[in-house]
A and B are shown apart, each in its own frame.
Chain A
Amino acid sequence: MPVQVKVPTILRTHTGGEGVVSGDGATVREILEDLDARYPGFRARVVSDDGGLYRFVNLYVNDEDVRYLGALETEVKDGDVLSILPAVAGG
């Protein structure tokens, strides 16, 4: 199921500069796996080696933090938006 994935500036080097890409999968984990297949190295920027969420990169399905849903097993459906939000410190 195609899900719109919003890619932050800091990760757009992986997506050829694209700020929004389409991802396929039924869960957040599957979406990230799909993106990693097309953009090697993408997944490792978002989740840790042991497959957990980093504490300095947040994932949102629509406007809800996946930590309060099902973490990486959060189900997504056609038309959902997955946003990736890294901590940034610039001022």
Chain B
Amino acid sequence: MSFTEDQVRRYARHIILPGIGVDGQRKLMDAGVLVIGAGGLGSPAAMYLAAAGVGTIGLVDFDRVELSNLQRQLLHDTDDVGRPKVESARDRLASLNPNVDVVAHETLLSSENAFDVLRAYDVVVDGTDNFPVRYLVNDACQMLGKPLVYGSIYQWEGQASVFLPGPDTPCYRCLFPEPPPPGTVPSCAEGGVFGVLPGIVGSIQAVEAIKLVLGTGEALVGKLLLYDALRNEFTTVKLRWDPDCPVCGKHPTVTELIDYEAFCGLAPGQAPPEAEHTPSAREA
């Protein structure tokens, strides 16, 4: 595939950049990246991926745009309130870069459909807002052999890392083998979230997703990047592969996708303690 004149101009600063060049730009244009959650983290991640010319960007979200989203979710405009997030996100990305094929998955990610949704993509970016989907996506990526770019935020602090498939490198379950019991951790809706924070963390996720596609630089593997906006501090801590990890360890006990409502302590049919804890691909 050769570049059009317009593409040469659009991607000029990447094409002349050591580490990308013509070959790297072509890799980006041939790549498919799935962004889970078209919210706080998914907004900057998807927008930078689109601007960079990633060929196919998948978006998973089941929510509609709310006014309280707009303080941080830059994919959506005031006029989009009430629209499905995947639709307003698709419009934004198409307007940013019409070369990008945006695939909208307006669905709740579950053990039923996760493999089908994830399978077509080269890299997965996790920008969801709840533990069940985070564990589901981690496990599915390990089982499908997909690299996962993790990001998570709460109030003024964020975390990011890259989880590669297979043993010897850590996954989300090596970091936190089990989710907290339901109701013990407040959601962004309850605890609030600093609007710029997902802009920082989601942008770091875009950086890592692009580096994975290019095979450039060092991936954020085996390290957890921590950002504290109040103390203006970036730190990293070591993240080790756990041989006892239930999904990527030597003797995996998680070998299929789990019913995550039961996993998180909710009996079937039991209402979650807060609406915001309802497992969904929604981001807060």
B163 at the interface (CB under 8 A from A): no
A82 to chain B minimum Cβ distance, whole angstroms, is 11
With an 8 A cutoff between CB atoms, is B11 at the interface?
no
A88-B230 contact given A56-B179, A65-B238, CB 8 Å threshold:
no
The secondary structure that dominates the A interface is mixed
* Across the A-B interface, the 7 shortest Cβ-Cβ residue pairs: A88-B154, A91-B283, A91-B129, A55-B178, A9-B155, A56-B180, A87-B176
Cβ of A85 < 8 Å from any Cβ of B? Answer: yes
A73 in contact (CB, < 8 A): no
Q: How many interface residues does chain B have, given as a range?
A: 35 or more
Given known pairs A65-B238, A68-B240, the reply for A90 and B284 (CB within 8 Å) is yes
CA distance A54 to B237 in the complex (A): 18
Tell me, rounded to whole Å, the shortest Cβ–Cβ distance linking B157 to chain A.
5
Residues of chain A within 8 A (CB-CB) of B224 are 85
| Chain B interface residues toward A at CB < 8 A | 37, 39-42, 126-131, 134, 151-157, 159, 175-180, 185-188, 191, 193, 198, 224, 226, 228, 230-231, 235-240, 283-284
Residues of A in contact with B, size category: 20 to 34
Known interface pairs A10-B185, A65-B240. Does A90 touch B153 (Cβ–Cβ under 8 Å)? Answer: yes
A10–B156 CA distance with the chains assembled, in angstroms: 10
Are A91 and B185 closer than 8 Å at their CB atoms? Answer: no
A-B contact pairs, 23 of them (CB 8 A): A9-B154, A10-B186, A54-B180, A56-B176, A58-B175, A60-B238, A63-B237, A64-B238, A65-B240, A68-B240, A83-B235, A85-B224, A87-B176, A87-B180, A88-B153, A88-B159, A88-B185, A90-B187, A90-B193, A91-B39, A91-B41, A91-B42, A91-B129
Measured CB to CB, the nearest residue on chain A to B131 is A89
Chain A residues within 8 Å of B152, by CB:
87-91
